Amino acid sequence: MNPKRGHYSIAQPTIRPLHNTASSMESFLVWAGKAKRGGKDSKVAYDFIQNIWNIWGFSEQTTYADFETYWSMMVHNSCVDEEIPAPTDQVFNDATLNNLGELPKSELTEFILYQKAGVGSGKHANIPWLQELPDPMTKLTWDNAALISFKTAEAKGIKQGSMLKLTTAAGTLDVAAYLMPGHADNAITLALGYGRTSAGHVAGLDDDEINSVGFDAYKLRGSDEMNIAAVQVEVTSAMHILATTQDHFAIDAIGRKGMEDRLPSLVREGTLDQYEADPDFAKEAPDFWDKDDSLFIERDGLKTPAHRWGMAIDLSSCTGCGTCTIACQSENNIPVVGKTEVLRGRELAWIRMDRYFLGTAENPTAINQPVGCQHCELAPCESVCPVAATTHSSEGLNDMVYNRCIGTRYCSNNCPYKVRRFNFFNYNEDTELAGNEVMKMVHNPDVTVRSRGVMEKCSMCVQRIERVRIDSRNEDRDLFIEDGEIQMACEQSCPSNAIVFGDIEDENSRVSKAQANNRAYKLLAELNNKPRVSYLARVRNPSPLLVEEQSEEVVSHG
């Protein structure tokens, strides 16, 4: 294999053959007439690869004298370097920019194709996790839609979900409209990769009469206008239901105002100038709850645990991509629920990416914030459960005991962050059926598969904590789990390292330092739940030109 230019590596098995199966390599060899079936514990593929490396790899080097040593080195290092030719200089030819044509003018609408973060060009369309991953901006699941500005929509009489008939030089397509704040006027943006007819049982398969998900933008894409084209829009009276995990921008005035009033304290933000002038700007809220004036003996006073787990999320780093959601879903066996259940508001994400728009529909500021269980010290969910199914661990985790849960859902009502998720149906039915032995293996064996009727939520990857604890005990050092040794799935996958997990008892840990940062604040701290998760306020450094433009617009709106 040649995973990267200049590197060669060995194809190594990731898993033993499941049940009575053979590896694909063995099958190809057998079909090509190069080998015979090896049966159980077959070495056909192994022998073949070893032979190849003997012929091509071993013979072309001089470091190792015998093949056995060479082979051991290769398996151990799994990779061998080769001389890489120096790259040639690339020159940007700006003369070609002159060849660009004029952009389509007002009577014709500009049409732009793009790829969504989840399914991309469509090759990931049959992965249900990615279909249900809310788009970072639209929060749309299980669909693509023609994004259009509020102004253009109003001019053309388009409502959220109106079906549009789009015509380009390449073809026509009926597609649902989505009113997108901040979108350019007289333009339509549509994601590729949807409307597939032979993708599989998730995204659509005509042969098995499985309806396709979304609208096939490729029908509007001609070979001479690959990504931008002129489009004609015809508004029809038909409507399409779009499943979003959050309200879109256009809600009633009262809701809009309530949202705008509270957002500055929920998602704290400032500009660099503001931060330099007052580094404590995020701490402006009253801090009476910090005082140790509780009427009760607090839990932490009763026991001195070896560790106190906590988390910090730096909003300055967070880009709102939603990778944490998917990482968590895969780590914690979280089922997808499908479009109709998303419409009912029953998606099961343990960590979700909240997205808000502040300002006008023409030029809004988008704000995002990942929210999972805050693991409150004084958790409101714990006191209201009649059967004590959610309790506090000595290390400060808010544990969920699935076996004890009877599903009153009171904990969810009393959670101000609404991070608790309920199994309204048996979402794991398929894996319980006989004959689905292989399907069961998609689950993480360290995490319980939840049954119908129980509540679930972020466990701070307790299985990962326990895994490291077991290892450290075996090494007689269980009080000295190093900072960073335990990684949450969300933390591990975050491309911008916005999430930090660790021991807040250890003042040198990354999380302790992050929580001591002057940008740190707790979400809804005034409720005195004492969350274990801190957010670090976002500091923006906008270009002065953009700020000017924005303030001008506000004036023109005033």
Partner 1 sequence: MANSASTTHLDIFPEELVQGTNDFHSITETVCGVIEAPKPPKAWYIIFGTALAMLGVLGAMIVYLVTTGVGVWGNNQPVAWGWPIVNFVFWVGIGHAGTLISAVLFLFRQDWRTGINRFSEAMTIFAVVCAGMFPAIHVGRVWFIWWVFPLPNQMAMWPNFRSPLLWDVFAVSTYFSVSLLFWYMGLVPDLASVRDRAVSKTKRFWYGLFSLGWTGSNRQWHRYERAYLVLAALATPLVLSVHSVVSFDFAVSQLAGWHTTIFPPYFVAGAIFSGFAMVLTLSIPARKIFGLEELITLRHIDNMTKVIMATGMMVGYAYAMEFFMAWYSGNEYEGFTFINRAFGPYAWAYWIMVSCNVLSPQIFWFKKIRRNLVVVFIMSLFVNVGMWFERFVITVTSLNRDFLPSSWHYFTPTWVDILTLIGSFGLFFTLFMLFCRFLPQVAISEVKNVLPQAHPHHDAH
Pick the binder of partner 1 from 117, 120, 524, 542 (CB under 8 A): 524
Our finding on whether 184 is near partner 1 (CB under 8 A) is no
371 binds partner 1 (CB under 8 A): yes
C-alpha–C-alpha distance, residues 24 and 27, integer Å: 5
With CA atoms as reference, report the closest residue to 48 among 4, 7, 10.
10
- Pairing between β-strand 187-191 and β-strand 538-540 as defined by DSSP bridges: unpaired
Beta strands in 67-214 (DSSP E): 79-81, 109-114, 140-141, 146-148, 162-167, 172-179, 187-191, 198-200, 204-205
Close Cβ partners of 499 (under 8 Å, ≥ 6 residues apart): 311, 312, 313, 314, 324, 370, 488, 490, 491
Contact assessment for residue 221 and residue 193, using Cβ atoms and an 8 Å cutoff: no
If binding is defined by CB under 8 A, does position 417 make contact with partner 1?
yes
Q: 3-class DSSP state for residue 494?
A: coil
Interacting residue with partner 1 among 453, 483, 518, 542 (CB under 8 A): 453
- Give the Cα separation of 313 and 320 in Å (integer): 12
Q: Which residues pair with 23 in a beta bridge?
A: none
Task: Pick the binder of partner 1 from 46, 48, 289, 410 (CB under 8 A).
Answer: 410
Select from 159, 201, 262, 557 the one that contacts partner 1 (CB under 8 A). Answer: 262
List of residues 6+ apart from 37 with CB closer than 8 A: 22, 26, 30, 44
Is 409 a binding residue for partner 1 by CB under 8 A? The answer is yes
CA 104 to chain CA centroid, nearest Å: 36
DSSP state of 238: E
Q: What is the signed CA dihedral for 311, 313, 314, 320, rounded to 10 degrees? A: 160
| 247 vs 276, beta carbon nearer partner 1 | 247
Residues near 457 by beta carbon (within 8 Å), at least 6 away in sequence: 350, 372, 373, 398, 400, 419, 420, 421
522 binds partner 1 (CB under 8 A): no
| Shortest Å distance, C-beta 345 to partner 1 | 4
**Size of site (CB under 8 A) for partner 1:** 56
DSSP 381-398: HHHH-TT--EEE-TTS-E
- Does position 477 interact with partner 1 (CB under 8 A)? The reply is no
Give 379's DSSP letter: -
Span of 209-217, 408-416, 431-439, 472-480 interacting with partner 1 by CB under 8 A = 408-416
Cα distance between residue 524 and residue 519, in whole Å: 15
Provide the minimum distance between the beta carbon of 251 and partner 1 in the complex, in angstroms, as a whole number.
Answer: 8
**Binding piece for partner 1, criterion CB under 8 A, among 63-71, 204-212, 326-334, 523-531:** 523-531
Closest distance of CB 385 from partner 1, Å: 6
Binding to partner 1 by residue 266, rule CB under 8 A? yes
- Does 219 contact partner 1 by CB under 8 A? no
Contact status: 278 vs partner 1 (CB under 8 A): no
> Per CB under 8 A, does 399 bind partner 1?
no
Told to check if 261 binds partner 1 by CB under 8 A, we report yes
For partner 1, which residue of 420, 464, 469, 522 counts as binding (CB under 8 A)?
A: 420
Output 355 or 464, the one with its CB closest to partner 1: 355
Pick the closer one to partner 1 by CB: 44 or 381.
381
CA distance 42 to 23: 9
Q: Which stretch binds partner 1 (CB under 8 A): 55-63, 306-314, 522-530, 534-542?
A: 522-530
CA angle, residues 402, 406, 411, in degrees to nearest 5: 80
CA distance 524 to 496: 25
Bridge partners (DSSP) of residue 399 are: 391
* Binding of residue 492 to partner 1 (CB under 8 A): no
Candidates 6, 222, 301, 345: give the one binding partner 1 (CB under 8 A): 345
Residue 544 burial (10 A CB sphere; 0-12, 13-18, 19+): exposed
One residue of 116, 124, 308, 352 binding partner 1 per CB under 8 A? 352
Distances (CA, A) of 52 to 16, 49, 76: 21, 5, 17
Q: Which of 142, 356, 501, 535 binds partner 1 (CB under 8 A)?
A: 356
* 211 near partner 1 (CB under 8 A): no
Choose the stretch contacting partner 1; rule: CB under 8 A; options: 117-125, 189-197, 301-309, 401-409.
401-409
> Is 246 one of the binding residues for partner 1 (CB under 8 A)?
yes
Q: Which of 220, 324, 455, 537 binds partner 1 (CB under 8 A)?
A: 455
Scanning 10-18, 26-34, 88-96, 342-350 for contacts with partner 1 by CB under 8 A, the matching segment is 342-350
- Torsion angle in degrees (nearest 10) through CA of 344, 452, 127, 240: -20
Tokens of 165: 């008939």
Provide the minimum distance between the beta carbon of 348 and partner 1 in the complex, in angstroms, as a whole number: 9
Is residue 451 within the footprint of partner 1 (CB under 8 A)?
yes
Task: Pick between residue 346 and residue 440 the one whose CB is nearest to partner 1.
Answer: 346
Report if residue 268 touches partner 1, rule: CB under 8 A: no
Nearer to partner 1, 261 or 476 (CB): 261
Name the minimum Å distance from CB 521 to partner 1: 15
Q: Nearest 5°: CA angle at 443, between 442 and 448?
A: 165
**Closer residue to partner 1 (CB): 383 or 444:** 383
- Nearer to partner 1 among residue 452 and residue 473 (C-beta): 452
Q: Is 406 one of the binding residues for partner 1 (CB under 8 A)?
A: yes
Residues making contact with partner 1 (CB under 8 A): 246-247, 252, 254-255, 258-259, 261-263, 266, 341, 344-347, 352, 354-356, 371, 380, 383-388, 404-410, 412-414, 416-418, 420-426, 451-455, 524, 527, 529
